A = this chain, B = another copy of it.
Amino acid sequence: MSDQISLIPNNSLITATPEEGRQLAVKLARLIIKVTQPDAEIREKLRPKYAEDAGFLIAIGQTVATEFATIAAANNYWK
């Protein structure tokens, strides 16, 4: 793991709205891919595979859903 890559923007799970929480979930999921594959060129080469494969798109959705569950709990569901 490269210490240079921040894994959580602003080092916080707290967001003002559910929408921002959802965007954070997407970012958290992407940053794990970045830290596992720090080479930007390889990531760029893999990106169309994610985005044009039905199975990968669903799997990304599953990961985001799991990240979002944590963020939503951290924000007490923005109640």
Smallest CB gap from A12: residue in B: B18
Is B8 a contact of A18 with CB atoms below 8 Å?
Answer: yes
* Contact indicator per residue, chain A 40-74, by CB within 8 Å of chain B (1) or not (0): 00100010011111111111111111111110111
The winner among A13, A23, A33, A54 for most chain B CB atoms within 10 A is A54
Chain A contact residues: helix, strand, loop or mixed: helix
The contact size tier of chain A is: 35 or more
Can you identify 21 A-B contacts, CB atoms within 8 angstroms? A7-B19, A7-B22, A8-B19, A11-B17, A11-B18, A12-B18, A12-B78, A14-B79, A29-B61, A32-B61, A33-B58, A33-B61, A37-B52, A49-B54, A50-B58, A61-B63, A62-B63, A62-B66, A65-B66, A73-B77, A74-B78
